[in-house]
Amino acid sequence: MEVSPTKRNIIKQLDNLTEEQLDKVLRFARTLEPRKETQPSPSKSGGNLLRFVGLIPKDDMNEIAKAIEEDCERIDYDQW
């Protein structure tokens, strides 16, 4: 089986990336995979968001959750 020119160019570019960059590329590539039968259809609640799972690093998600917990529960009555 012959490798396409596009695939060869992608592989060549991958050789120049750091491990962190390769991880980002892998996560992105996984979002391009065809949907599997076991995944909910986009018409179901949240089903169309599954392609984004894993794109945000866990540390960033923890920081976002902490910010929401600390700041979103407060009401600043002077701003209204």
Tell me, yes or no, whether 18 lies in a domain.
Answer: yes
**Which of 30-34, 39-43, 68-72, 74-78 has the least mean pLDDT?**
39-43
Kindly list the distances between the CA atom of residue 58 and the CA atoms of 22, 26, 28, 39, 63, in Å, as whole numbers in the listed order.
17, 16, 16, 22, 9
Structural domain that includes position 60: 5-36+50-79
Longest dimension (CA), the chain: 68
Tell me, yes or no, whether 16 lies in a domain.
Answer: yes
Number of domains the chain contains: 1
Tell me, yes or no, whether 26 lies in a domain.
Answer: yes
Tell me, yes or no, whether 68 lies in a domain.
Answer: yes
Tell me, yes or no, whether 45 lies in a domain.
Answer: no
Q: 0.85 cut: is pTM over it?
A: no
Tell me, yes or no, whether 43 lies in a domain.
Answer: no
Average pLDDT over residues 37-64: 76
The pLDDT mean for the chain works out to: 82
Separation CA 74–CA 71 (nearest Å): 6
Backbone φ and ψ of 45, nearest 5°: -50, 115
Tell me, yes or no, whether 20 lies in a domain.
Answer: yes
Tell me, yes or no, whether 42 lies in a domain.
Answer: no
